[in-house]
Amino acid sequence: MKIVVNEQEHNVSATTLAALIDELGYGGARVATALNGDFVPVTHRKDALLKDGVKIEIVAPMQGG
């Protein structure tokens, strides 16, 4: 399935957001996620189903003012 993660195309086998996090190598990292612009809490990732063309955002702590 082709999806877009942080504006980059990926071909993945994961069918849920939780599986995607593991497949892309974010396992154990402190990250937050959004699916098509909507926040998906960590507890809901296993129920968040991926479809062809979905847009995922994965963010982490960064310097800020």
Partner 1 sequence: MAKQFYGVELSSPLMLGTAQYPSPEILSEAVTAAQPGVVTVSLRRESAGERAGQAFWSLIRKLGVPVLPNTAGCHTVKEAVTTAHMAREVFGTDWIKLEVIGELDTLQPDVFGLVEAARILSEDGFKVFPYTTEDLVVAEKLLGAGCEVLMPWGAPIGSGKGLNNLFGLRAMRAHFADVPLVVDAGIGVPSHAAQALELGYDAVLINTAVAKAGDPALMAQAFKFAVKAGVLAREADPMEERDMAVPSTPLIGKAMLA
Residues that bind partner 1 (CB under 8 A): 6-7, 24-26, 29-34, 37-39, 41-42, 57-65
Nearer to partner 1 (CB atom), residue 22 or residue 53:
22
CB of 1 to partner 1, least distance (A): 18
Nearer to partner 1 (CB atom), residue 54 or residue 58:
58
Question: Are the CB atoms for 56 and 6 separated by under 8 Å?
Answer: yes
CB of 64 to partner 1, least distance (A): 3
d(C-alpha 39, C-alpha 25), whole Å: 20
Question: Are the CB atoms for 30 and 61 separated by under 8 Å?
Answer: yes
d(C-alpha 54, C-alpha 45), whole Å: 14
